[in-house]
A and B are shown apart, each in its own frame.
Chain A
Amino acid sequence: MSAALEIQDLGKRYGRKPVLEGVNFSVGPGEVYALAGPNGSGKTTLIRLATGLAFPTSGAVRMLGEDLHSGGYAVKRMLGAVVEAPAAFYPHMTGRQNLDMQAFLTGLEDASARIREVLARLELLAVADQKVGTYSLGQRQRLGLASAILHEPQVLILDEPTSGLDPQGIQKVHEILSELARQGAAVLLSTHHLREVSAYAHKVGILGGGRLLEEVVLQAENERYRLRVSDPEKAASVLKTVSDISSVLARDGLVFFEGRPEAALATLVREGFRVYGLEADYFDLHDYYRERVKNA
């Protein structure tokens, strides 16, 4: 699967101060990539670079193979983005008029039907003809998402898309994002709501001090298990040779693996290991993130 969005060795300096250094990752079509990190870790700078609002000091951002910063404005046809929280609109214009102008700037012809569709999807039809200045924070945020998906982009980049939303609004946004990913869009979002995004994000990039500290794969193809077994190191070595088992790791006296648990058990028993327990390994992203950032 070729990447829809590639961040290649991306770096940004302001004067001598590096804000972002050597960041590499990619987001494939249908994939949701969440960026997490404490304030000042470089998330917003990364989002600005990835949307073409800022220019990198080193490295490149590629969308479907095209360089975003040197490939001309046409590359942005693939991009939908919200980079402000709450999303910014002209307050003297109605929600519909704002979207109409955005559609015009995107080159969408006869966009009224599509505007109605996205307004309905974000439950904004009732306020569509009111001036944006009268909108609540949540309504503006949802209008931002409506604007980002207006032209059905292949790459969606969102900075804190659920900021300022009530729990129902957050749920709605998460539903829409996972649905868009299912339809093939590559989604990159920055967030502090790790528990919520872990339900549908495929990967989480943890940023700290302007570097990508770690990339955590959340939705592995196989379910993950942990084993309590005699001689974990040796058991892990044995499991690595089994074809139905992958991502084997011995840590803290346990053996972690992905794949068919029956195959793992049969192999270990056949090889004479004592198996004391086998259970699914549920990953708590929030705890992991806290630990990772604390130790960074």
Chain B
Amino acid sequence: MLRILVWEFGKLIRLRSVQVGLLASLLLPVLWVIAPGLRNQFHLNLISAWQVPALSLRTGMDFLFPFLVAMAAAEVLGSEVSLGTLKSVLLRPSPRSRLLLAKLLVALLYPFLLLATSLAGSLLVGIPYGLGNFYGGTGLNQPDAIQAFVGMGLMTSQAALLEVVKAHLLAGLVLAPIAALSLLYGTIFLATTTAALAAISSLLLMRLLVAFPSVQPFLLTTYLGLYVEPSSLFMGLSLLFIYTAGFSGLAMLVFDRKDV
């Protein structure tokens, strides 16, 4: 299994959507730092490099990161279909579930890779502002962005690092069900664009369901901001796990009897 995982990871890194996504997540923090409009939105005068990751994460998690994750997860399977290599792999005496599980694990790993790149890019462009202790907040400890940047007095660099890493890990978990959903659509449609569009459309539709307050607590989209909402952590993580496991299980079932 390990060899298949390494092999799948090698293929993931070669996907065009992954390369574009990683490049975008590395370079976009530059924009956040120099864009006066964005800074006005958060009433923020940057005073520390530890505040840049929040700018990237908050703006990226709105649409860009979910979109990049949906595209990459769909392409994990779709690229093999368009290359024709899926057939040659499935002809081998190896269970389909093992092959899809490797793809799924790699697709679930991708959000963390994307966010790690974004974090690295953010800290890199933030270096001129310094990585030491500062007065203010990282922008990641509560839902209200303006208050989150104001903070509560002195923030040590160690505490800032912990807060930033925790938020990025949580954001990765938030993106995991989106990757699983996109891969599920990939097994249904066996086409990258259709699968990614279906995943994004599903998310947008779920967002519209806020009109039904009774279902809102159970919607995946309700927890897209979990990385800055420590209060709903348990409920949010439980639901995200259920969604990820559910989408993954369905993908396995569909793929096992899918005509290729």
Contact of A73 with B95 in the complex, beta carbons under 8 Å = yes
Residue of chain B at shortest CB distance from A101: B7
Residues of chain B lying within 8 A (CB to CB) of residue A79: 91, 93
> Are B88 and A104 interface neighbours, CB within 8 A?
no
Chain A residues whose C-beta falls within 8 Å of the C-beta of B87 in the assembled complex? 53, 83-84, 88
Instruction: Closest A residue to B14 by CB, please name it.
Output: A92
A88 touches B94 (CB 8 A): no
Asked if A263 lies at the interface with its beta carbon under 8 angstroms from chain B, I say no
Residue A102 is within 8 A (CB to CB) of chain B in the complex: yes
Within 8 Å CB of A91, what residues of B? 83
- Give A62-91 interface residues, CB cut-off 8 Å to B: 73-77, 79, 81, 83-84, 87-91
Number of inter-chain CB pairs below 8 Å: 61
Confirm or deny: A147 has a beta carbon within 8 angstroms of a beta carbon on chain B: yes
Q: Of A51, A74, A92, A104, which one neighbours B91 at CB under 8 angstroms?
A: A51
Given contacts A48-B260, A54-B260, A104-B3, contact A84 B88 (CB under 8 A): yes
B93 touches A77 (CB 8 A): yes
The answer to whether B88 touches A89 (Cβ under 8 A) is: yes
Q: Which of chain B's residues has its CB closest to A83's CB?
A: B87
Q: Does A105 contact B (CB under 8 A)?
A: yes
Query: Shortest CB–CB separation between residue A29 and chain B, in angstroms?
Result: 19
Whether A73 and B96, one on each chain, are in contact in the complex, defined by CB atoms closer than 8 angstroms, is yes
Interface presence of B39 (CB below 8 A): no
* Minimum CB distance partner of B93 in chain A: A76
List the A side residues contacting B84 at CB < 8 Å. 84, 88
Q: Mark B90-105, 1 if CB is under 8 A from A, else 0.
A: 1111111000000000
Q: How far is the CA of A73 from the CA of B94 in the complex (A)?
A: 6
Considering the chains assembled together, what is the distance between the CA atoms of A201 and B85 in angstroms? 29
29 A-B pairs with CB atoms under 8 Å apart are A48-B259, A48-B260, A52-B91, A53-B87, A53-B90, A53-B260, A54-B259, A54-B260, A73-B95, A73-B96, A74-B93, A75-B93, A76-B92, A76-B93, A79-B93, A81-B91, A87-B88, A88-B87, A89-B85, A89-B88, A90-B83, A90-B85, A92-B14, A105-B89, A105-B93, A106-B94, A107-B94, A144-B88, A147-B88
The 6 tightest CB contacts between A and B, nearest first, are A88-B84, A105-B92, A54-B259, A76-B93, A77-B93, A84-B84
Give B residues with C-beta under 8 Å from A: 3, 7, 11, 14, 83-85, 87-96, 257, 259-260
